[in-house]
Amino acid sequence: MSLQVEVSDLRLTYGETVALDGVGFTLTGGKIYGLLGRNGSGKTSLLSVLGAFRRPGAGSVRIGGRPVFENAAVTRQTCLIREAGEASAIGTVNDALYFAEALRSTWDAAYAERLLDAFQIPRRKNVAALSLGKRSALGVVLGLASRAPVTMFDESYLGMDAPSRYAFYEELLADFMAHPRTVIMSTHLIEEVSSLFEEILIIDRGRLVLHEQSEALRGRGVSVTGPEEEVGRFVAGLTVLGDKRLGRTRSAMVYGELGEERRGKALAAGLELGPIAIQDLFVHLTARKTPDAGPGERS
């Protein structure tokens, strides 16, 4: 089931602090979306409003064409997971599942059991006594087994070791293929997980900086690799996000699309052109002193 998510002119404040400032976008649904942003950028606030954890201060949030906050028909279809899915103080892992099963009509108990085994989460242990990684893994279990048409994970990898994180990504992708739905993931581990994202939203200081298809985003930058002098001549006048050097070979990451003419010149000069890492673009787009954040990044 694909539910469209529409956010319009969303504003949220905590006292004097503006957490979200006129955020607006539309997600057509049925995809895995990446929500990227620096610490304090407003990711959690945005997800909190989408998940009905908070009432929007101003603007509107609609899922499936209906407002979210205190709307049972909509909240039934959303699931926001932060750490252990709010179950940290509820008792044991079994207790957390006991309530999930009772409260979620779409709960898949068999899948939850399988995931508990996969992540090696002890069922009888108190949730609060689990390590941060295991609590996050429990949150992943609660999120995936919810089978909610709109499932959101807010930095759900926290504390998880690399094998657990990769197990999470594999499970997420496999379950998404078997049961297509809308998944929104906020993360800092951009390169590790970016291959999952079909679309990416970048938020910075409470404002949406970018909302784009992942492939199109990758096309916003180019890595230019070749002899140091040739690369230096080629990138002169362009916005260079970063450099890597190995001996006399240099790889420069350039922001902005190259036209056909420039690409031809690069090839003629024996330079290799390749895609740029989304993380580098993210750093560039959210840098605090960026003179040129690029045109048309607001959507």
Partner 1 sequence: MNGLAAIFPRRLLAANLYFTLIVYAIFVVVVMGVAVAIGVFGDLETSVWERAVQAARWYVLVIGITVVRLYLPVYVAHGRTRREFAGQAAVFMLLFAPAVSALTALGYLLEGLVYRLGGWPHQIADRHLFGGPGQVPLVLAEYWAQYLVWVSAGALLGAAFYRLSTGGVLLIPVAAVPVILVHSATDLIQVLPIIGRLPTPDLPGTTGTTGMAITAAIGGCALVFALTWAFIRDMPIRNLG
Tokens of 180: 């297509």
Instruction: Compute the least distance from the CB of residue 13 to partner 1, in Å.
Output: 12
Considering only 137, 148, 201, 266, the residue that binds partner 1 (CB under 8 A) is: 148
72 is a site residue for partner 1 (CB under 8 A): yes
Question: 209: alpha, beta or left, given left = phi > 0 and alpha = psi -120 to 50?
Answer: alpha
Tokens of 127: 């949730």
87 is a site residue for partner 1 (CB under 8 A): yes
| Nearest Cα to Cα of residue 86 among 118, 115, 48 | 48
Give the total of residues touching partner 1 (CB under 8 A). Answer: 37
Q: Would you say 11 and 57 are in contact if contact means Cβ atoms under 8 Å apart?
A: yes
The Cβ-side half-sphere exposure at 191, using a 13 Å CA radius, reads 7
Q: State the binding string over 21-60 for partner 1 (x if CB under 8 A, else -).
A: -----------------------x---x--xxxxx-----
Considering only 62, 99, 192, 294, the residue that binds partner 1 (CB under 8 A) is: 99
**Residue that has been written with the tokens 């002899």 in this structure:** 227
Instruction: Compute the least distance from the CB of residue 146 to partner 1, in Å.
Output: 7
CB atoms closer than 10 angstroms to residue 11? 16
Query: Cα–Cα distance between 38 and 47 in angstroms, integer?
Result: 15
81 is a site residue for partner 1 (CB under 8 A): yes
DSSP designation for 92 = B
> Which range, of 24-32, 73-81, 191-199, 217-225, touches partner 1 by CB under 8 A?
73-81
Tokens of 174: 């496999």
Residue among 90 and 240 whose Cβ is closer to partner 1: 90
| Residue numbers at the binding site for partner 1 (CB under 8 A) | 44, 48, 51-55, 69-72, 75-83, 85-87, 89-91, 95, 98-100, 102-105, 142, 146, 148
